[in-house]
Structure 1
Amino acid sequence: MTKQHANWSPYDNNGGSCVAIAGADYCVIAADTRMSTGYNILTRDYSKISQLAEKCVMASSGFQADVKALQKVLSARHLIYQHQHNKQMSCPAMAQLLSNTLYYKRFFPYYAFNVLGGLDNEGKGCVFTYDAVGSYERVGYSSQGSGSTLIMPFLDNQLKSPSPLLLPAQDAVTPLSEAEAVDLVKTVFASATERDIYTGDKVEIVILNASGIHREYMDLRKD
């Protein structure tokens, strides 16, 4: 079985894959820990997940200098928000802030492909998926990065999110339990690692629920 060299930019120094799944009272966000450029692995233990607020986490693939710059801007604006409002920003508010931040840079965009996950004001899981210039959508699950073309068809087959065009609108959160969602994430990463040379080494899984945030790790193929 041969791995494929995905159609990924030569300016990218971190392909990899990010996945997020929203549930009724939880959200699971995961990303692999490999940082590579071309056929060279720079490090096998690099976290692509950043906690932006108490109930909001972002996973990013793409050019890591741009990802770090984006995280610094969001962190600074969140700090200003906390001083002005004396509270943490909600996940939907952070989703709008991320969209605005990316859109301001649309003529010289951040080379970062993001998925944002967390809990909304009602305690429900929420996932927001983005393109490079800030267009975003709230979905039940999403994937970004070089492995997303392998992962999304599998998630579509397993989760079958309702169409946003349905009337009356249906809730997009997935019907899986938290443990089932974590197992599904592990399965899709094991699958993507077999075919995508930029995804591998280890997967970091962040789980948000009413009791807080905790992390799990699982080893992947290292070749």
Structure 2
Amino acid sequence: MSLDVQSKPDYMRDPRKHHFFPYADNGGTSVAIAGDDFVMMASDTRLSRGFNIFSREQGKVFELTPKTMMASSGCWADVLTLNKVLQARLTMYAHEHHDVMSTTAVAQLLSTMLYWRRFFPYYVSNILAGLEEDGKGVVYHYDPVGHMEKLTFSATGASVAQIQPLLDNQIGGLNMQGVTPPKMTKELARQLIHDAFVSAAERDINTGDGIILYTVTKEGKTEEMIKLRRD
């Protein structure tokens, strides 16, 4: 004989499914483009969650060495933790070897750190960009568990679905016949990054407010602030 509703135990009257999800998606988008003698990296300055904007002035690009930078977006707590641990590892290397780690070595170190956390990964999308030993720009794209791909341009974050196809078309010339990709210059890279973020800000509420644009050359590093729409 089946039990009626009144006689069922408490745990059967109100069944619930419990979830454990410690991550938060705080938005943000990053783009990097490399040239023969430079690399340019930019991120938007909006830090949000859903329809709530926490900050309109939060950059997402971190300086690792004088020639290497990392852009991270996703769960902001994981972004800060990953950057803190990576900075500590770089400091330990500098103290032990009395030298600054090269861009290639930093790229491999980041891949190893992400893979080490593969069973409870950092909820972060990363791009690492810098200058190689010969002065040529390079971009490394990562997934959250450490898979690394060496590229000349990449986008990541909330608006990657809008920006990456634009870069593939304008820089890579993908799926186009009779088209030669243009030689990348600083002026062209800046214009493409600006246009990409303007387009993304029109369609994605997680990207907006402004862009912090960094240019790395053998002479040094420059920073530029570009405003976007704030609504």
Same fold (TM over 0.5): yes
In angstroms, what is the RMSD of aligned CA positions? Answer: 1.8
2:122 counterpart SS class: coil
**1:196 alignment counterpart:** 204
Is 1:159 aligned to 2:171, yes or no? yes
* Counterpart amino acid of residue 45 in structure 2: T
2:75 to 58, 63, 86: 63
* Counterpart amino acid of residue 121 in structure 2: P
What is the alpha-carbon distance in structure 2 between the residues aligned to residue 91 and residue 159 of structure 1? 23
Return the TM-score normalized by structure 2: 0.86
**2:53 alignment counterpart:** 41
Is 1:29 aligned to 2:41, yes or no? yes
Q: Which runs of 5+ in 2 are unaligned?
A: 1-20, 175-180
What is the alpha-carbon distance in structure 1 between the residues aligned to residue 133 and residue 95 of structure 2? 20
* Counterpart amino acid of residue 104 in structure 1: W
Is 1:186 aligned to 2:206, yes or no? no
- Taking a change above 3 Å as real, the CA distance of residues 73 and 10 of structure 1, as seen in their structure-2 partners, is closer
Structure with the greater alpha carbon radius of gyration: 2
% identity of equivalent residues: 46
* Counterpart amino acid of residue 148 in structure 1: V
What is the alpha-carbon distance in structure 2 between the residues aligned to residue 16 and residue 48 of structure 1? 8
**2:128 alignment counterpart:** 116
Return the TM-score normalized by structure 1: 0.89
2:106 counterpart SS class: helix
Count of residues paired in the alignment: 206
Is 1:150 aligned to 2:155, yes or no? no
The runs of at least 4 consecutive aligned structure 1 residues that moved more than 6 Å come to none
1:82 to 76, 86, 94: 94
**1:168 alignment counterpart:** none
Is 1:212 aligned to 2:224, yes or no? no
2:30 to 10, 14, 18: 18
Is 1:129 aligned to 2:137, yes or no? no
What is the alpha-carbon distance in structure 1 between the residues aligned to residue 137 and residue 182 of structure 2? 9
Query: Per-residue CA shift, 1:162-215, capped at 9, x if unaligned?
Result: 8xxxxxxxxxx9721112111111110001110011000001101000110110
- Taking a change above 3 Å as real, the CA distance of residues 10 and 74 of structure 1, as seen in their structure-2 partners, is closer
1:217 counterpart SS class: strand
What is the alpha-carbon distance in structure 2 between the residues aligned to residue 75 and residue 84 of structure 1? 14
What is the alpha-carbon distance in structure 2 between the residues aligned to residue 83 and residue 143 of structure 1? 33
Quote the offset at 1:47 in angstroms.
1.2
**1:167 alignment counterpart:** none
- Taking a change above 3 Å as real, the CA distance of residues 176 and 207 of structure 1, as seen in their structure-2 partners, is same
Alpha carbons 1:24, 1:175 under 8 Å: kept: no
Q: Which runs of 5+ in 1 are unaligned?
A: 1-8, 163-172
